[in-house]
Chain A
Amino acid sequence: MILFWGRQWVQVYNDALADLLGSTAGFGEPLPIDWHRDWDLAESPFTALAAGRCCSYEDRFRWFSRAGGAPRSSWFTLNFSPVLTAANEVTGAVMIVTDTTRQAVAELAAENATDRLRASLKVTPDSIFRLAGDGADLIELDGREFTRSIAGPAVDWLKQIVPPAEEAAVAAALQQGIATKRPFELEHRIIRKDGGIGWSGTRAVPIFDITRRVKEWYGAMTDISPRKEAEERLRHSERQFRRFGHASRDLLWIRDGHSYELEYVSPAASEICGEPIELKRAREQWVALIHPADRMGFLANLERVQKGEALHHEYRIRRHDHTTRWMQSYDFPILDESGRLNQIAGIARDVTDNEEFEGRQKLAVMELNHRTRNLIMLAKAIVTRTLDSCDSVEEFEEVVEQRLRALASASDLLCRARDSNSLTFDELIFAMLRTLGTEGDSRISLGGSGMTFIESAHVPTLALAFHELMVNAIKHGALSEPTGRIAVHWLVRTGFEPRLVVEWRETSSQSPGWVARRQSREMIEDSLRYRMKADVSFEPTETGFRYTLSIPLAAHPEPDNGMSRIVADPTD
């Protein structure tokens, strides 16, 4: 309280300011003429006071330094009353300043909290409900888009939103909450607004009255259907996977893509390995079980899978009793959604008792050996005839080396071929160009279908023939001069007897004298006539020569897994 005296409004009592400001400066002095502007007042209250009127100003805000501290937001209520003489003349005034800061701040906070609550209720898609304290009556349910809305009071509310099978569980959770006066929550099925069944995550908190009695329950129901359905799908597929794993006689496994630790292994593993496979110590156990000779290859293959490759491989398992099992495995990477390696997995089959496998292994090895011996025989024949045709050791060395390289290329082609009719003529001609390093030579033009298949059995002979043509072109023909040209065209002539027709047209200033050489003519003509019943013609032209080759194609190429050349089943 401050007391002013006289019409000059001299402060005659202002001790209270000491509490507020930390000093009573201004005592015995009038207020500054414009002090009221500090309070954001339009005019000085003393005008009204002088006229004998009271005035008051509530919750005026100002930045205010208390007792010399930093300015803080503050609120004050100002009351002014005139002091009158007996003759009703104004002789002074009383100003009462009340600090209302605390109250104002509390009110503001409450207001904000209410606003926030209102906003949060608006943004959440959850259903909001209120229940009576004893849980029996629903006061109201705002279902939003999730459930139906119920304007209370309603007693049978549970039946309206919860499927019968779940009613008991929800009621039990509610009773538990009521008994303990503590918030409760549960996940349960719910009848959606559209009548379908969904999943709700329901939570409610008690609201107490002043006597600590629960006056109502305030709660929300959140739509958790997508999560629940995803979980259910996952559980379902997991169950299915385990059932498959359990039923499978194959060894199914999944490892962590980085640590190689086993995360899953099917029960068949223990049976195949002859000892129980435990996930915990499976890593060491597993590696120890791989046949030592296959271990490096096995681990190298796992590394390839880890790098993203899917592959078939074979390895042996050596059991404790020293018996060996042959495994055929298909291993593959499992990537996460962003394409990064997550796990690696495999399906391994014990093929030890598989007679077909055993027989096939044996036949494959035998066939390979047969092919190798034929190739050696052919190489020997080539060496002998080269020896006959060469005039010097140097020439022999050069020619025989080139011819053996051509044979090696032919062998590569045969190894790559999946069956006896899957090589194409363009593969052969490209391989021969590569052998002599002429694949990019602009003097050579090639034209023909990439789907012209030739029989594997004919590959070495054809390879040697085209090799010979090319070598001679390099030495004596078109490729020995800058302006020479070679055009190779091939096609399949269909009809009663389908034939592969190849034309080699060479243009150069040289006479094709080399072709008269017996051995070259043999290699490009006789050898092809002998086995393939080929029609071969060689015609000199004004500017070079034209060589044409026409080979009957197998009318009905039989499907062939590469084994049909086996003449005898060793078991009969």
Chain B
Amino acid sequence: MSHEMRFDESASLSGYRLLIVEDDYYVAEDLSRTLRCLGATVVGPTPALASARSLMRALRPDCVLLNVTLGRENTIEFALELRALGAPVIFVTGYDVDGIPKTAAEIPLLRKPVSTPALIQNIRAQTSCYEKH
């Protein structure tokens, strides 16, 4: 058995290199799978900040999908660093906006479970707005 993507979504992220930073294996795999089905190249996924940093440096993804908590670590600082460097970041989290400090309020936030159209739209919006700069 298999579940098929709708045709018009199948290649919508074609050419994008996306880093997934997510500590839960199943969630990370599920998200990777979805993104691959949308034509994207997945970097990672990784459950830890240290490896996220080195993947970032080595592979220069177009956008980072970041869970807010990784075990006992949180990724707010990392997200702000990335943003300062001009790298697009999207939070993918169970928290709502209230759970995120105001300093990170400009970072778009997708709440779990993530809808595929919202994922596509946010990734495209983030990368295009950064490409302009």
Contacts and interface: CB of A to CB of B under 8 A. Distances in A.
Interface of A: 366, 369-374, 376-378, 380-382, 384-385, 387-388, 390-393, 396, 455, 457, 460-461, 464, 526-527, 530-531, 558, 564-570, 572
Contacts of A457: 23, 71-72
Interface string B97-123: 011111010000001111000000000
27 contacts: A366-B96, A370-B94, A373-B93, A373-B113, A374-B27, A374-B112, A377-B112, A378-B24, A378-B27, A380-B30, A381-B24, A384-B33, A387-B1, A388-B1, A388-B2, A393-B1, A526-B25, A531-B23, A564-B72, A566-B99, A567-B99, A567-B100, A567-B101, A569-B101, A570-B98, A570-B99, A572-B101
Nearest to B102: A572
B109 to A, nearest CB: 12
Contact of B25 (A372, A393, A531, A565): A531
B30 A385 contact: yes
B113 A568 contact: no
A299 to B, nearest CB: 34
Interface in B20-44: 23-30, 33
Given A377-B112, A380-B113, A527 B25 contact: yes
B74 A377 contact: no
B69 interface: yes
Interface in B35-59: 47
A381 to B, nearest CB: 4
Contact of B30 (A384, A396, A455, A567): A384
Nearest to B46: A530
Given A374-B112, A384-B33, A567 B68 contact: yes
Contacts of B72: 457, 558, 564-565
Contacts of B80: none
B76 interface: yes
Contacts of A388: 1-3
A464 B101 CA distance: 33
A561 to B, nearest CB: 13
Interface residues of B, number: 33
Contact of A373 (B1, B47, B74, B112): B112
Given A565-B72, A572-B102, A396 B25 contact: no
Interface in B58-80: 68-69, 71-72, 74, 76
3 closest residue pairs by CB, A with B: A373-B94, A381-B30, A527-B25
A369 B94 contact: yes
A133 B23 CA distance: 102
A203 to B, nearest CB: 79
A530 B47 contact: yes
B27 A377 contact: yes
A411 to B, nearest CB: 14
Contacts of B96: 366, 369
A390 B3 CA distance: 12
A530 B72 CA distance: 16
Contacts of A464: 26
Contact of A381 (B3, B26, B94, B100): B26
Contacts of A371: 94
A378 B23 CA distance: 11
A371 B95 CA distance: 9
Given A370-B94, A568-B99, A378 B1 contact: no
B99 A373 contact: no
A558 B71 CA distance: 13
A369 B111 CA distance: 11
A572 B3 CA distance: 43
Contacts of A565: 69, 72
A455 B104 CA distance: 28
Given A373-B111, A390-B1, 12 more contacts: A370-B95, A370-B99, A372-B94, A376-B113, A377-B27, A377-B113, A381-B26, A385-B26, A530-B25, A568-B99, A568-B104, A569-B101
Contacts of B1: 387-388, 390-393, 396
Contacts of A393: 1
Contacts of A531: 23-25, 47, 71
A474 B17 CA distance: 42
Given A565-B72, A567-B76, A568-B101, A366 B95 contact: yes
A527 B26 contact: yes
A568 B74 CA distance: 9
Contacts of B94: 369-374, 377
Contacts of A382: 26
A396 B3 CA distance: 13
Contacts of B25: 461, 526-527, 530-531
A141 to B, nearest CB: 83
Which of B29, B72, B94, B101 has most chain A Cβ within 10 Å? B94
Contacts of B27: 374, 377-378, 381
A168 B72 CA distance: 79
Nearest to B68: A567
A569 B102 CA distance: 10
B52 to A, nearest CB: 14
Nearest to B31: A381
Given A373-B113, A380-B113, A388-B1, A530 B99 contact: no
Contacts of B26: 378, 381-382, 385, 461, 464, 527
Contacts of A460: 24
Contacts of A564: 72
A568 B76 contact: yes
Contacts of A396: 1
A461 B100 contact: no
B4 to A, nearest CB: 11
A530 B101 contact: no
Contacts of B33: 384
B24 A461 contact: yes
Contacts of B47: 530-531
B112 A376 contact: yes
A377 B28 CA distance: 10
A383 B28 CA distance: 14
